[in-house]
A = this chain, B = another copy of it.
Amino acid sequence: MKTPTPSASQIQRVLATAADLIAHYGFDKTTMEDIARQAGMSKSALYLLWSSKNQLFDALLASEMRRLLQDFQTRMEGDPAGGQIANLYRHALLALQANPLMCALYTRDARVLGDFVSRQDAERYTSRLLLSVEAIARMQAAGLIQADLRPEVIAYVFSIIAVGFIHIQAIVPTAEAPPLAEIAQAISHLMQSGLAGTAGDSTAGQQAISTLVAFAIQQYDDELAKTKR
């Protein structure tokens, strides 16, 4: 199959421009007309791809989530010690930080998300975001994370740091902040010394996480496949 659906590249282009515009101006202030013009088509053409603005947004979130996961996986697989919890978390943090829309979703940024913040299915994304309780428990069982902390607590601390990591950029001007990589490295250091388990090889964990992420990506692909049409 050369082209899975007739206008796959068009869909990608629209979603990319929608991501830019919504991350910049917010959901409410970004009109369908804006998206269409910026993507080089008419507004009507958009309604041939999605039946409503909300459905376009749903597809956008799925697409960005997919991109985030892909980015995370690329970073992790490019790291020889990517299976260690410290690096795992570091890559997750950096991948999240590089995706403005996912940052907004994760921090429930009302300026970007508009009314979407109140919709209950926002959790559908944030609950999976970063490492889930289940994934942590699994890594504890595999000896990759020490087991004397409850997985719920670890997941919560992960979220705290991620939220702080995103929010602090609106508080401290970036010029005065240390370089991003150095911050991420320091946080990674804390994770390594405080959470690393007894298991020596991290490649097994890397494999497990990798397939898990691949599965999640597949799920989002499936969701994106049934984009109206």
Contact = CB atoms under 8 A, between A and B. Distances in A.
A225 interface: no
A157 interface: yes
A108 to B, nearest CB: 5
A172 B129 CA distance: 13
Q: Which of A157, A159, A160 has the most CB of B within 10 A?
A: A160
A229 interface: no
Contacts of A192: 194
A81 B126 CA distance: 37
A36 interface: no
A177 interface: yes
A170 interface: yes
Contacts of A187: 157, 160
Interface string A183-200: 100110111111100000
Interface in A146-201: 149-150, 152-154, 156-157, 159-165, 167-168, 170-172, 177-178, 182-183, 186-187, 189-195
A107 interface: yes
* Number of chain A interface residues as a range: 35 or more
A185 to B, nearest CB: 8
Nearest to A154: B186
Given A190-B190, A193-B194, A159 B153 contact: no
A66 B165 CA distance: 27
Given A178-B150, A190-B190, A161 B159 contact: no
B186 A172 contact: no
A52 B195 CA distance: 52
A194 B189 contact: yes
Contact of A168 (B163, B189, B191, B193): B163
Interface of A: 107-108, 126, 149-150, 152-154, 156-157, 159-165, 167-168, 170-172, 177-178, 182-183, 186-187, 189-195
27 contacts: A108-B170, A108-B171, A149-B189, A150-B178, A152-B178, A153-B178, A153-B182, A153-B183, A154-B186, A156-B172, A157-B183, A159-B171, A160-B161, A160-B164, A161-B161, A162-B164, A163-B163, A163-B164, A163-B167, A163-B168, A163-B171, A164-B164, A164-B167, A167-B167, A190-B190, A190-B195, A191-B194
